[in-house]
Structure 1
Amino acid sequence: MKFDESGEHRKLQLQELEKICNEEYENSRIYKEKTKTFHDKMISRKEFEVGQKVLLYLSHLCLFLGKLRSRWIPYCVVTNVFPHGAIVIQSLESSKLFKVNCHRLKHYYDGFQEEGVEEVPLKDPPYME
């Protein structure tokens, strides 16, 4: 009779262990969902329009890049925007068309116009002796 009791006890222990494992899987799934929603909320989406100037990121320069060499190719113009982030750009220097992901692009600003900027001359503080 002692074998039957120990067998029942062992079955209960295995059921408890399986229950704990299932709870941990569920907690892990919930944590991953929360982390993903937080990450997706922090991502800034870029909107590109046809005719807009952009900078193209050169990913193949990462290994042998000089210290002051830029990783961005300037002077590209957006010619077509596809859904799901694919964009066709045209280089103004070589007039070639490239189809790239929007994550490799950055908005190009020609220059900011300063309006109503006032210059304030700074004076040295008086010395206390």
Structure 2
Amino acid sequence: MELEHKAMWALKTTNLDLKTGGEARFLQIHELGELRQHAYENSVLYKEHTKKLQDKCLKDHKQFQAGDLVLLYNSRLRLFSGKLHSRWTGPYMVKEVFPYGTAAIENADGVIFKLNGHRLKLYVGGPIESAVEVIELHTPHTS
């Protein structure tokens, strides 16, 4: 008897009207679709914004002019294994800048060659002086 009473109470509390339940489910499905569409639009806006920021950073640093001094990144350099060896060589002088990021550079021997501008960066420092200090060591006098 008690079990039947609980079952009847559960049936009364749930809405067994199929038309009303169907409308509620229809609205839930459409609300889910709207939420999904908003999430998609927000992700597109986020991707556009981050792409704009990234492109701004890339384009600002890669504007070379004829006569600029640049360093060349050598990705194939494997002379010394270790973290402290620099793969940037140079400085080289930019002779001509072509469209789409290609540049012609000249080395110290006067040889001119073309390469992709992504492998270059501006050389802002002065000449590197290799100063070697000689320290003379004397044997201590023993008495």
Query: What are the within-5 Å matches in structure 2 for residues 28-39 of structure 1?
Result: 28-39=43-54
Do the aligned partners of residues 65 and 76 (structure 1) sit closer, same or farther apart at CA in structure 2, a change above 3 Å counting?
Answer: farther
> Do the aligned partners of 1:89 and 1:100 also contact (CA within 8 Å) in 2?
no
With the length of structure 2 as denominator, give the TM-score of the two structures: 0.59
Matched, 1:80 2:96: yes
- Greater C-alpha radius of gyration: 2
Instruction: Rate the CA distance shift 1:65–1:95 in 2: closer, same or farther, 3 A.
Output: farther
* Cα distance change on mapping 1:75 and 1:27 into 2, 3 Å: closer
The residue correspondences of 1:52-67 to structure 2 (distance < 5 A) are 52-61=68-77, 65-67=81-83
Flag the 1:75–1:35 CA change in 2: closer, same or farther, 3 A. closer
CA separation of 1:74 and 1:37: change in aligned 2, threshold 3 A: same
Q: What is the TM-score with the length of structure 1 in the denominator?
A: 0.64
**Which residue number corresponds to residue 126 of structure 1?**
none
C-alpha deviations, 1:30-82, integer Å up to 9, x for none?
A: 233333334444453333222333210112348x7434322111142222201
Sequence identity (%): 42
Number of matched pairs = 110
Q: Check conservation: 1:90, 1:98, Cα contact below 8 A.
A: no
Match of 2:40 in 1: 25
Q: 1:92 aligns with which of 108, 112, 126?
A: 108
* Structure 2 residues without counterparts, runs of 5 or longer: 1-15, 128-143
Query: In the alignment, is residue 51 of structure 1 matched against residue 67 of structure 2?
Result: yes
RMSD: 3.0
Letter in 2 for 1:79: K
Q: Does structure 2 retain, via aligned residues, the 8 Å contact 1:75–1:93?
A: no
Larger % of helix: which?
2
Deviation at 1:13, TM superposition (A): 0.9
In the aligned structure 2, how far is the partner of 1:5 from the partner of 1:70?
Answer: 72
